[in-house]
Amino acid sequence: MNTLAQPVETARRPRLTLWLLRVTATIQLVLVLAQPVLAGLFLTGDVDAIEVHAAVATAVAFADLVLIGVAVAYTVARGRLWVLPASVALLVAVGLQMAAGYTRALQFHIPLGVVIVTASVVLGIWAWTPAAARPRGGVR
């Protein structure tokens, strides 16, 4: 019996959608990491930094919307299931964060910002690991 003639089963796995996820998560992460810097500039006396902080918050919300779309495609392409609800949770958190910022509810705004930064770092780093490229269902 010739084992070389048997077809090799290849698992369908995310490729294009993984790269889209990596790029989108990285852009979102860079925007999120700029926020504490801008807030710090404002607190040290640069009053114009708060306007940039607000504009970047809008860009973060837009990036999170794109991230949700990419997460849908990634999930359909046999990517990890948790990425989609995590992306939706990030968008909800950013919306709450923006509301807390505009109402100056800093007792809510600052801790939520820490959560958003942490979640974005975890997602951004995970997207570049080999685990992100493995299809779900146990096939490697």
pLDDT in tens, the chain (140 residues): 555 555 555 555 668 999 999 999 999 999 999 999 999 999 999 999 999 999 999 999 999 999 999 999 999 998 999 999 999 999 999 999 999 999 999 999 999 999 999 999 999 999 999 999 998 876 55
Nearest to 35 by CA among 14, 8, 13, 64: 64
Nearest to 40 by CA among 52, 49, 51, 31: 49
C-alpha 88/C-alpha 73 separation (Å) is 14
Identify whether the C-beta of residue 53 lies closer than 8 Å to the C-beta of residue 44.
Answer: no
What pTM value is reported for the model?
0.86
The Cβ of residue 111 has, within 10 Å, a number of other Cβ atoms equal to 11
